[in-house]
Amino acid sequence: MEDITFENSLRLARVEKGLTQSELSELAGVTRQTIGLIESGKYNPTLKLCLILARVTEKSLDDLFWIKEGE
């Protein structure tokens, strides 16, 4: 099985909502560091957290997270 690279647009979605990392982390029930790691691509969140982040940012899962093409 080949390595799969996941991409996300969480930072853009957060900024569009006018939220800081700290504010988003409070709404999602995680630490600010977790949000930073997700935004930088260094942490893959659970499906549950992905759904929470989608709800808070009012985006679909497909808008927030995807597998990088061409890998």
Q: Write out the DSSP string of the chain.
A: -----EEE-HHHHHHHTT--HHHHHHHHTS-HHHHHHHHTTS----HHHHHHHHHHHT--HHHHEEEPTT-
**Does the residue 65 lie in any domain?**
no
**Does the residue 1 lie in any domain?**
no
**23: containing domain:** 7-60
> Average pLDDT over the chain, rounded to whole?
94
**Does the residue 19 lie in any domain?**
yes
Q: How many domains does the chain have?
A: 1
Query: Model confidence at 31, in pLDDT bands (50, 70, 90)?
Result: very high
Chain segment 3-29, per-residue pLDDT in tens: 788 999 999 999 999 999 999 999 999
**Does the residue 20 lie in any domain?**
yes
Query: Model confidence at 30, in pLDDT bands (50, 70, 90)?
Result: very high
Residue 70: pLDDT over 90: no
**Does the residue 66 lie in any domain?**
no
| CATH number, residue 15 | 1.10.260.40
Mean pLDDT of 45-71: 93
**Does the residue 23 lie in any domain?**
yes
